[in-house]
Structure 1
Amino acid sequence: MIRKGMKLYSILFGACPKCHQESMYVNKNPYALSETLKIHDKCSHCDTRYRMEPSFFYGSMYVSYGVGIAFAVAAFVVSFLLIETSLIVAFIAIVLTLIGFMPIIMRLSRNIWINLFMSYDKELAKK
């Protein structure tokens, strides 16, 4: 079970990495494409600044590559190995998966990136 206080909670739900009390994102829906990457400047609960420096989230591009590969491998395994489609159909499944899940991949990458640098703080969560 995933609950507040675990890094996985902040990564999966996009919660503040310090207090887990609010979403980092202006719009919680990643498929609101014009607002997919818009984040608040700081947490309204604990005042944690999300952008520690200009261009902080550029590093999440490296994480995005790994997350994208994981999604692609999952699509391949499901389509080619489990459903036993041809390689062409498996390739199409990979492309459609990456396109369809791109907003989620981008947010997940940002969540992982910021959680590499910040940890949950029980005292801030109680504030």
Structure 2
Amino acid sequence: MKNTSLSAAMLQAKCPRCRKGDLFPTSVFSYTKLSEINGKCPECEATITPEPDFFYGAMYISYAFSVALMVNVSILVTYFFDRPDTMVYVWTVLAANILLVPLMLRYSKVLYLYGLGKLSYDPDALKK
């Protein structure tokens, strides 16, 4: 059985304990059920949500993603257009946020769970 690396498991939004089960009931790129996360891993039955409001802290990571996106989009707009109108900045940042909201919300939860969750990798988790 091949072990999944930490970075691959995080990119694929897999369970931190077994790195096989999905964290989300729908695709990471889906706009449906954005805030829903599986309570237990479908593979190893590990409790993914340790307490009811655990993922509220992920909002700080999501906010950082939004700020980074706003700064990068603003830099790109300034680079490609010579002194654009303020509304060009507003509309491009808004469009980028709408397009990337599923990724930012979901990966903020993934990073929060891997960083502050109490689950650690157990290669034998599926055998138990």
Counterpart CA distance in 2 for 1:14 and 1:124 is: 17
Counterpart CA distance in 2 for 1:113 and 1:104 is: 14
1:110 aligned residue: 109
Flag the structure with higher helix content. Answer: 1
Counterpart CA distance in 1 for 2:10 and 2:85 is: 33
Structure 1 segments unaligned to the other structure (5+ residues): none
Are 1:92 and 2:87 counterparts?
Answer: no
2:16 aligned residue: 17
Counterpart CA distance in 2 for 1:90 and 1:71 is: 12
The amino acid across from 2:57 in the alignment is G
Question: Residue 76 of structure 1: which of 74, 77, 87 is its match?
Answer: 74
TM-score (norm 2): 0.80
Are 1:47 and 2:45 counterparts?
Answer: yes
Q: Is 86-95 or 67-76 further displaced after alignment?
A: 86-95
Counterpart CA distance in 2 for 1:119 and 1:9 is: 15
Counterpart CA distance in 2 for 1:5 and 1:97 is: 30
Counterpart CA distance in 1 for 2:91 and 2:29 is: 23
Counterpart CA distance in 1 for 2:127 and 2:81 is: 51
What is the root-mean-square deviation of aligned Cα atoms in Å? 2.2
1:36 aligned residue: 34
Larger Rg: 2
Q: Is 62-71 or 90-99 further displaced after alignment?
A: 90-99
Tell me by how many angstroms 1:5 deviates: 2.1
TM-score (norm 1): 0.81
Moved over 4 A (4+): none
1:27 aligned residue: 26
2:122 aligned residue: 121
Tell me by how many angstroms 1:74 deviates: 2.3
Tell me by how many angstroms 1:105 deviates: 1.0
Tell me by how many angstroms 1:126 deviates: 6.4
Counterpart CA distance in 2 for 1:4 and 1:77 is: 36
Contact 1:14-1:25 within 8 A present in 2 as well = yes
Aligned length: 122
Contact 1:80-1:87 within 8 A present in 2 as well = no
Tell me by how many angstroms 1:47 deviates: 1.5
Counterpart CA distance in 1 for 2:121 and 2:58 is: 20
